[in-house]
Structure 1
Amino acid sequence: MYVVLQPAPALTWRTIGGILDFYVFLGPDPASVIGQYVEVIGNPSMPIYWALGYHLCRWGYNTSNSTWEVVKRLRNYGIPQDVQWNDIDYMDRFLDFTLDPTKFATLPDLVKDLHAHDQRYVMILDPGISSVQPEGAYWPYDEGLRRDVFIKDAEGKPLIGKVWPGLTAYPDFSDDVTHDWWFDNLQRFHEKVPFDGLWIDMNEPSNFLDGSTDGCPSNSLENPPYTPGILGGLLRAKTLCASAQQKQSIHYNMHSLYGLMEAKASASALKRILAKRPFGMYSGHWLGDNRSQWKDLYTSIAGILTFNLLGIPLVGADICGFSEEPQEELCVRWTQLGAFYPFARNHNAIVMKPQDPTAFGPLARKAMKEALLLRYSLFPILYTLFHHAHVHGHTVARPLMFEFPKDVRTYGIDKQFLWGRSLLVTPVLDPGVDYVDGYFPEGLWYDYYTGDSLLSAGEDLRLQAPLDKINLHLREGSISPTQAPNLTLWVSSGQPLHLVSALSDDGSASGDLFWDDGESIDAYENDLYSYIVFDVAQNAMTSRVLHSNVEATYITVETASFYGVKQKPGRVLVNSQDATFTYRDNQVLTVGDLGLNLSRNFTISWM
């Protein structure tokens, strides 16, 4: 299928066949359209908490010890990291479910060390299973043949293509038998390397050949009367024959579902092996092999927003770019932007210079560290946004037009975005500048860091943006819960809360917090969570616990800041008791040393 956007405005659909079901979602506003859409496809799942931390990967660590050294360097510099990944170099001759016996012999010890530091491990896995190992030497293929799990060619024999390990067969994930075989392989490998998540790649499905080693039949399926503008000009280019046979149908009808079906099999297996949440309903998503160029930094924003519209909020681009040599300034700016990708992973290609934060000079390293610590401090906001995505079908990273649909200036904005309805991100996307121009819709906005107010009539404003800063602004009427950051989310998520209230002109604001144990499957559905709503009105903040579970009782509220308090108070009361406070000339009131239990209602008032 090929869809062309016409200037009329109109969409032209060209398709070579298939069953077409059309849904029309009437809104009336953009956010409602997405909510209605995810009602059809299913709401996103709540991700496991560590999926929202900082992930580090590269193709070409070459050994488990060199991988381990990078992890240790990040720890030594106090740079947060939740997850370490490995690409295909961990495998023995690129064979799935194997470990290179010499270069990656210490991988199990590395994983044990990660777990001891509250960190996690993810490895890549490709669907192509080597078909040329000696009989009895490679269980995944031998057992796959025995259980008849592989996609067949038009003659009923296993279709053979070519991927990293050489000639390969392709599992048919439309067959439940294949899911059981996939689980058995993963469980066997997990006993050697206790991984925490899977990175499933090459599942278009990818093929270094066109179709198979035997080509493809000459028929109307393989050579339709009209071919969309696709790579190679053939349906079989760098993938399988359209006429290949799967359990549920021919590959022609299943091709675009292959990755989804592998994700279903993988998520199901992980739940059985780990008894914890996978990355998403079936998976999250990264935007593919980008380049270390400023243009790719800029276009990543559109990619992140698009997948949020598609009901896949756990999405990110390769921070600092995958291919080509990373420049220090670009990597700093990309880490700042990447700190606001819902899924934040730095990933690098083979033979390229290292681009993890420790690979650069002191100033760049410090700027990247601060950006990542900032992300970790905002974890309560991000986690609550994923809760609303799961329960209500909301977006997490959001275009400005979603919140300001009547402001036509917001329609074309692709250089800024929002987290939820209230946190405006304005990243630097150009080299050699210490400022950034951003659009502020009509209303009152506050600098996240200082509380300085900015009243906009709906205008472009130039913001100072030295190399160590990404501009963040809070929308009036919002309350944002934050935490003191630490090296992993497991540690930082236990820290006391700091509540930041960005008051409207009438002195009102509202916000909320969702909290659970971060990993139990169906925690919300099983009532294993806490949910607290915060409101400010008439010089008083109230906290209401709408749902209480033991998981949130260990967290306290330590400080509260109120941006936009127009007059210095004479007294501040916390649960009717006098409290110490500070008031700055920029109309910021801060109350500290609160020690309030989050699981109990409280009131902070001033007069």
Structure 2
Amino acid sequence: MFTGSTVAALLFAFSLLAFLYNNNWPRLGSGLVRSGRDEQREIKAPERSVNEAAARRNTAGSAVRSEKVGISGDRECTAAPEARFDCARDRTLTRGECEERGCCYGPLSGSAGPPWCFYPRSYPGYTMGPLSPTTRGQTATLTRKKPSYLPKDISSLRLEVIEETTGCLHLTLKDASSQRYEVHLPGGIPESSADNQSVFYAAEYQSDPFGFIVRRRSNGRVIMNTTVAPLLFADQYLQMSTSLASSLVSGLGEHYTSILLDLNWTSLTLWNRDMAPHADANLYGAHPFYIVQEEDGFAHGVFLLNSNAIEVMLQPTPALTWVSTGGILDLYVFLGPDPQSVIRQYLHIIGYPMMPPYWSLGFHLCRWGYTTSKTTRRVAQSMHDANFPLDVQWNDLDYANKRRVFTFDPWRFGDLPEIVDEFHQRGMKYILILDPGISSSSLPGTYPPFDDGLKRDVFIKNATGHVLIGKVWPGPTAFPDFTNPETRTWWEDCIRDFHSKVPVDGLWIDMNEPASFVQGSVEGCPDSDLENPPYTPRVVGGRLNSGTLCMSAQQKLSSHYNLHNLYGLTEAYATHSALKNIRRKRPFVLSRSSYPSIGRFSGVWTGDVRSDWEQLRFSIPAVLQFGLFGVPLVGADVCGFGGDTTEELCIRWMQLGAFYPFMRNHNDKPNAPQEPYVFGQKAQAAMRTALNLRYSLLPFLYTLFHHTHTSADTVARPLFIEFPTDPNCQSIDKQFLWGSLLLISPVLEEGAVELAAYLPRGTWYSLHDGQPFYSGGQYLLLPAPLDIINIHVREGHIIPQQEPALTTTASRRNPFFLTVALSAGGWARGDLFWDDGESLDTFETQNYCYLIFIAGQSQIVSELVKLNGDLDGLVLGGLQVFGVPSPPRFVLANGEKVGDFTYRTDTKVLTVTKLALSMSEVFTVQWTL
């Protein structure tokens, strides 16, 4: 008979064994192959963090499996609820059906959350053969002895491991015996190689069942662990799971979400759809890329290069499961080690963003409802009469004759060419909408785009080889196949012909998911595996062809089933190329649909947002997410697109929109007007202040775009990018930065006249008056009256600015001024990139100017790093210096005394005016204390 102490000891021993087992303490038979080596190794690394311990609880590869692995109560089925991986994602299973799959069945209370049917610890999968060297890296064959429960299971796979760079690991898994569709981004992916001794990662491969683990070399942290659940690979169903290093995950757009994703059993679908932003819906773009913030400021990212419909399940383990309906698993892992380095590594693969024309950073105005050319002209004139900057006037589909693109209505817009000329003479630009749907119902010979398109065979076909007809604004429509080179030539010819009549300065490509008002086509779609796959992710409408084309539709490269998410990208590529060839200037394209690499060709806006406070607030993470995706030229419709705005909402949205990288006010037909000049005088004054502030900062914003174009920096960035070691910055998305130094803290709540803003550690100066705030990394309660937006400049930086004007054509001729935010030691630095604002490839052809400004020892000096552009006639007209400790006795400019300067003892701001120092020559401004 056992004593009480013996029982207690036995209970403790059993508890300890259970803990070690559940936390995947190293066991016999775990057999890992390390990258580049043939010998078998056991996992013997100790647990390094709570997150890693949780991530390993469901690790496969344990001892020999029980014959009754699927029976509930078996030790193979003891995973904690949050660590369960769903074995019934395709459909709801009964207990018997679940166990027939060899899975565990464990009912839980409640209908949402952990799955009831889940994979056991050791689930039969692929067996990996030995790794063999190749010219690109290493390769191995994976074989499955027994088919999985999926239809058309693929029994043999080829693993290829490609070591891209020191911070990037590239792996592919594809059918070993037949060709499957693979994504090829426009322009291709650069090839590079890494020195195995300097890579940031160590990769380990489990042979049976197959899985891999990626660790960070510097600290041993597990970045990915795919052994937590089985790899599945069938003709129309690919599944791979991984643990996550932390719960701080961003990306996987486009969705209506905060900057950090919800890991509480959240499903995200990546399938481009014409859908106004709202929660739990797949929206206009697909970006299968995520970034994870780790501990101590480290970060990593993962990119799945796959264009099929994708569902991503996030669970609180933390872990993630990819499910794709086709293609291959083409996976990139970016090791950073910091967040900004992750973005650079990602953009190295998908391509650095384009350099936008300078004028595109000004204010844009549009409405669906400017029904005549007279109305369009009057709106632009009213803006300037009210002293509001306006660079670009837009027209929605109102301009088109019977809503057919490449036409303009002869009655309502008969003088459109003359209006565009007028805009150009006033230093303005003009843009109109261009939908991809080409009207197919016009009489033969009356609509050249369709007639010529038929002759040149440029349209997407249905399964029987005939032109697929859908329905969009003009009625029955055909859809260009932009994967066809002949289509791109035809598209350029159409744009060239229209541009010869209406010399537009850019094009707005909308409805390019592609959207259709009928499901599939006007004739329906065939009953096939492409239209009815074994598994359909959770898409709006329930079917992949809902609101778009038939999946069996045929394009030059493949079926629309494989190419749907790429449609907007391929149209942007064709449109960018056409404008470049026609105008011989820097193209401007704005697209609604998006996919990785679209930032090389186009900007993006966030679609049909509503005019309400919630959408104002969520526009910030939407803009920041696109920055992570390599699309810096992005913004939301200022004041909202759907529904009536209010005066207060529109003021706050104009203040926030002044700091979107792309700023456009866009309104829907039935709504109340929301042009700035329609509001009261106080509201107009607040909006005018916001616009003038933006225009004054355009030289700085343009310089940020130069850095993102050449170095893959971010323009509008979340705080965690700049302050990765500050835990308070991990989830902030009500504030954001321009570059590394300008902190924007907008009002996002109705009636608010103050706000709590987080200021990271250091000194931050109010851009409004130079008031310093000395922060230890804390929230401060700031006044926020209706006419002010809180902007703070980080110590140690210099911002180049310019006197604002009503257009960038005029403002670019105005004097510059510098805002200097001194550090505690009296130092600061800034730079300016300057070219003509619209010529092609000025950086690549060395046709630009680049200046550095350095402040220290009570002086500011310019340095001309590159002077191969037009700075003649441009002058430095003044400067303001924040943080000057005491009143200067005098100020010298290039050695001569300056009479016009002031100093405020309360804010310690020195202001110098009426300078006229040439920007094309080195200058020095000194102050003597």
Q: What one-letter code is carried by the residue in structure 2 that aligns with 1:271? A: K
Q: Is the 8 A contact 1:221 1:242 kept in 2?
A: yes
Question: Relative to structure 2, which stretch is displaced further, 295-304 or 92-101?
Answer: 92-101
**Offset, 1:571:** 2.9
- The whole-number CA distance in structure 2 between the counterparts of 1:453 and 1:553 is 36
- The whole-number CA distance in structure 2 between the counterparts of 1:265 and 1:550 is 30
- The whole-number CA distance in structure 2 between the counterparts of 1:61 and 1:539 is 54
Q: What one-letter code is carried by the residue in structure 2 that aligns with 1:226? A: Y
**Offset, 1:109:** 2.1
- Equivalent residue for 2:23? none
- Equivalent residue for 1:361? 680
Question: SS at the partner of 1:24?
Answer: strand
The equivalent position to 2:914 in structure 1, one of 593, 596, 600, is: 593
- Equivalent residue for 1:242? 551
- Equivalent residue for 1:454? 773
- The whole-number CA distance in structure 2 between the counterparts of 1:223 and 1:554 is 66
**Offset, 1:344:** 0.1
- Equivalent residue for 1:351? 670
**Offset, 1:601:** 1.4
- Equivalent residue for 2:813? 494
Where in structure 1 are there 5+ consecutive unaligned residues? none
**Offset, 1:550:** 3.6
Question: Relative to structure 2, which stretch is displaced further, 5-14 or 282-291?
Answer: 5-14
Residue 471 (structure 1) aligned with residue 790 (structure 2) = yes
Question: SS at the partner of 2:332?
Answer: coil
Q: What one-letter code is carried by the residue in structure 2 that aligns with 1:592? A: T
Q: Is the 8 A contact 2:767 2:792 kept in 1?
A: yes
Q: What one-letter code is carried by the residue in structure 2 that aligns with 1:602? A: F
**Offset, 1:579:** 2.4
The within-5 A match list for 1:411-426 is: 411-426=730-745
- The whole-number CA distance in structure 1 between the counterparts of 2:424 and 2:516 is 35
Residue 427 (structure 1) aligned with residue 740 (structure 2) = no
The within-5 A match list for 1:394-409 is: 394-409=713-728
- Equivalent residue for 2:883? 564
Residue 58 (structure 1) aligned with residue 377 (structure 2) = no
**Offset, 1:8:** 2.2
Question: Relative to structure 2, which stretch is displaced further, 347-356 or 569-578?
Answer: 569-578
- The whole-number CA distance in structure 1 between the counterparts of 2:705 and 2:837 is 12
- The whole-number CA distance in structure 1 between the counterparts of 2:317 and 2:396 is 45
- Equivalent residue for 1:150? 459
Pairs aligned (count) = 607
**Offset, 1:96:** 1.1
Residue 582 (structure 1) aligned with residue 902 (structure 2) = yes
Question: SS at the partner of 2:655?
Answer: helix
Residues 342-385 of structure 1: CA deviation (Å, up to 9, x unaligned):
00000000111111101111111111111111100001110000
Question: SS at the partner of 2:870?
Answer: helix
The equivalent position to 2:564 in structure 1, one of 232, 255, 274, is: 255
- The whole-number CA distance in structure 2 between the counterparts of 1:70 and 1:5 is 47
- Give the structure-1-normalised TM-score: 0.99
**Offset, 1:591:** 2.2
Identity among equivalent pairs (%): 54
Q: What one-letter code is carried by the residue in structure 2 that aligns with 1:113? A: E
- The whole-number CA distance in structure 2 between the counterparts of 1:179 and 1:313 is 25
Question: Relative to structure 2, which stretch is displaced further, 19-28 or 439-448?
Answer: 19-28
**Offset, 1:596:** 1.0
**Offset, 1:575:** 2.1
The within-5 A match list for 1:13-52 is: 13-52=322-361
The within-5 A match list for 1:359-398 is: 359-398=678-717
- Structure having greater relative contact order (Cα 8 Å, sep ≥ 6): 1
Question: SS at the partner of 2:445?
Answer: coil
- The whole-number CA distance in structure 2 between the counterparts of 1:546 and 1:478 is 18
The equivalent position to 1:208 in structure 2, one of 517, 542, 545, is: 517
Question: SS at the partner of 1:174?
Answer: coil
- The whole-number CA distance in structure 2 between the counterparts of 1:320 and 1:13 is 36
Runs (4 or more) in structure 1 with deviation over 4 Å come to none
- The whole-number CA distance in structure 2 between the counterparts of 1:5 and 1:51 is 38
Residues 522-560 of structure 1: CA deviation (Å, up to 9, x unaligned):
011111100000111222211100000241232111112
**Offset, 1:592:** 2.3
**Offset, 1:10:** 2.0
**Offset, 1:189:** 1.1
Q: Is the 8 A contact 2:744 2:791 kept in 1?
A: yes
Where in structure 2 are there 5+ consecutive unaligned residues? 1-309, 589-598
Q: Is the 8 A contact 2:747 2:784 kept in 1?
A: yes
The within-5 A match list for 1:4-153 is: 4-153=313-462
Question: SS at the partner of 1:449?
Answer: coil
- The whole-number CA distance in structure 1 between the counterparts of 2:814 and 2:546 is 52
Residue 312 (structure 1) aligned with residue 621 (structure 2) = no
**Offset, 1:583:** 1.6
Residue 187 (structure 1) aligned with residue 507 (structure 2) = no
Q: Is the 8 A contact 1:125 1:198 kept in 2?
A: yes
- The whole-number CA distance in structure 1 between the counterparts of 2:392 and 2:698 is 16
- The whole-number CA distance in structure 2 between the counterparts of 1:571 and 1:4 is 65
Residues 483-541 of structure 1: CA deviation (Å, up to 9, x unaligned):
11000011111111111110110101100000000000001111110000011122221
- The whole-number CA distance in structure 2 between the counterparts of 1:7 and 1:596 is 59
Q: What one-letter code is carried by the residue in structure 2 that aligns with 1:553? A: D
Q: Is the 8 A contact 1:573 1:606 kept in 2?
A: yes
- The whole-number CA distance in structure 2 between the counterparts of 1:382 and 1:10 is 38
Residues 102-144 of structure 1: CA deviation (Å, up to 9, x unaligned):
1111222221111111001100011111111111111111100
Q: Is the 8 A contact 2:326 2:562 kept in 1?
A: no
**Offset, 1:572:** 2.3
Residues 202-245 of structure 1: CA deviation (Å, up to 9, x unaligned):
01011111111221121211111111110111111111111111
The equivalent position to 1:167 in structure 2, one of 460, 466, 476, is: 476
**Offset, 1:250:** 1.1
**Offset, 1:12:** 1.8
Residue 602 (structure 1) aligned with residue 923 (structure 2) = yes
Question: SS at the partner of 2:779?
Answer: strand
Q: Is the 8 A contact 2:355 2:705 kept in 1?
A: yes
Question: SS at the partner of 1:222?
Answer: coil
**Offset, 1:564:** 0.3
Q: Is the 8 A contact 1:128 1:169 kept in 2?
A: yes
- The whole-number CA distance in structure 2 between the counterparts of 1:326 and 1:184 is 40
Question: Relative to structure 2, which stretch is displaced further, 101-110 or 559-568?
Answer: 101-110
- The whole-number CA distance in structure 1 between the counterparts of 2:600 and 2:311 is 28
- The whole-number CA distance in structure 1 between the counterparts of 2:413 and 2:646 is 30
Q: Is the 8 A contact 1:379 1:493 kept in 2?
A: no
- The whole-number CA distance in structure 1 between the counterparts of 2:676 and 2:711 is 36
* Higher-Rg member (1/2): 2
- Give the structure-2-normalised TM-score: 0.65
Q: Is the 8 A contact 1:516 1:529 kept in 2?
A: yes
- The whole-number CA distance in structure 1 between the counterparts of 2:481 and 2:802 is 45
Question: Relative to structure 2, which stretch is displaced further, 479-488 or 190-199?
Answer: 190-199
**Offset, 1:434:** 1.3
Q: Is the 8 A contact 1:541 1:605 kept in 2?
A: yes
Q: What one-letter code is carried by the residue in structure 2 that aligns with 1:15? A: S
Question: Relative to structure 2, which stretch is displaced further, 8-17 or 41-50?
Answer: 8-17
- The whole-number CA distance in structure 1 between the counterparts of 2:768 and 2:686 is 15
Residues 450-469 of structure 1: CA deviation (Å, up to 9, x unaligned):
11111011111111111111
Question: SS at the partner of 1:259?
Answer: helix
**Offset, 1:573:** 2.3
- The whole-number CA distance in structure 2 between the counterparts of 1:444 and 1:5 is 38
Residues 463-486 of structure 1: CA deviation (Å, up to 9, x unaligned):
111111111100000000111100
- The whole-number CA distance in structure 2 between the counterparts of 1:21 and 1:375 is 41
